[in-house]
């Protein structure tokens, strides 16, 4: 079964061996019914050209580190799940079909996963911001709709013509992309950031930003971001000097929907 979770293409399947011959595959052993398989997923567009993809390597074992084991594939089969999305989060190329290369005891085997794929749920990117010293930005929501209790995610993209800036530098201990995020025109209160260190982002770049679970009114909202750069220069370990972006980028707004979790949330009193 192939489904969508926002920008993610979720592939749930089962490897079955009805031949009677012994076939094996390497898996990570865990208690959950789904097993992650070491495999190469290839996704194609309508012209049968490969689309650059990335795979979700999140720890499906909730902190445990199970060993890789060699497991026989029988008639009952082995269930698996793979989550993948386009590497370019601002791509407008529709995905058409997917194939899977699986490592078995006999070598690599190619499987056709789906002849047609459900469309992605991403909203369209905002228009590019007004350039500041040759640098501009834009944003795109990871989903068109978010439910109550779900973190709101979006993508940020910045590029430069390198006339005055080579990198965007984020300050240590205040890593917010040196940014202010606005929903419906109002700045968000301080939002937590996981990494306490400074970062150097070489233009062009993209980044996913996850906001905390917000209490918003159900319905449509707008989101924008202001990115500040203090300027100056940065010298890396190879003694190469790069110019930091100086100025403020203000993105165009994008819209998203905020909804209840489901039918139960619509019941009286919720």
Mean pLDDT comparison of 77-91, 161-175, 181-195, highest-scoring range: 77-91
The Cα 91–Cα 51 span in angstroms is 10
CB neighbourhood size of 126 (10 A): 22
pLDDT score for 195: 44
* Mean of per-residue pLDDT scores for the chain: 82
pLDDT score for 270: 43
pLDDT score for 130: 95
pLDDT score for 163: 95
pLDDT beyond 90 at 136? yes
The Cα 193–Cα 177 span in angstroms is 10
pLDDT score for 51: 96
The Cα 162–Cα 157 span in angstroms is 15
Q: What percent of the chain has pLDDT over 90?
A: 37
Its pTM stands at 0.81
pLDDT score for 263: 47
Chain centroid offset of residue 56 CA: 8
pLDDT score for 173: 46
pLDDT score for 220: 96
pLDDT beyond 90 at 106? no
Greatest CA separation for the chain: 68
Predicted confidence (pLDDT) per residue in 206-239, tens digit: 999 888 778 899 999 999 999 888 899 999 888 9
Residue 181's nearest CA partner among 219, 221, 145, 220 is 221
pLDDT beyond 70 at 74? yes
Predicted confidence (pLDDT) per residue in 247-270, tens digit: 999 999 999 999 997 544 444 444
């Amino acid at each position: 079964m192939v489904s969508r979770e926002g920008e993610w293409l979720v592939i749930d399947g089962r490897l079955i061996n009805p031949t009677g011959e012994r076939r094996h595959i390497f898996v990570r052993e865990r208690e959950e019914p789904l097993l992650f398989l070491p495999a190469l997923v290839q996704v194609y567009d309508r012209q049968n050209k490969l689309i650059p993809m990335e795979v979700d390597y999140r720890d499906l074992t909730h902190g445990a580190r199970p060993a890789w084991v060699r497991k026989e594939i029988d008639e009952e089969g082995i269930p698996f799940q793979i989550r993948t999305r386009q590497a370019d989060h601002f791509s407008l190329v529709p995905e058409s079909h997917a194939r899977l290369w699986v490592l078995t005891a006999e070598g690599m085997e190619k499987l056709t996963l789906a002849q047609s794929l459900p469309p992605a749920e991403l909203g369209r990117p905002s228009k590019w911001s007004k350039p500041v010293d040759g640098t501009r930005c834009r944003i795109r929501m990871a989903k068109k709709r978010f439910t109550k209790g779900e973190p709101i995610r979006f993508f940020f993209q910045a590029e430069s013509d390198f006339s005055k800036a080579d990198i965007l530098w984020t300050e240590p201990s205040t890593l917010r992309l040196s940014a202010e995020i606005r929903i419906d025109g109002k700045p968000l209160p301080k939002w937590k950031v996981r990494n306490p260190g400074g970062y150097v982002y070489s233009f062009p770049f993209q980044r996913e930003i996850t906001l905390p679970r917000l209490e918003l009114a159900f319905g449509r909202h707008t989101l924008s971001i202001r990115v500040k750069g203090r300027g100056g220069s940065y010298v890396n370990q190879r003694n190469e000097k790069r110019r930091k972006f100086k100025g403020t980028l203000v993105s165009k707004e994008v819209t998203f929907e905020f909804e209840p979790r489901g039918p139960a949330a619509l019941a009286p009193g919720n």
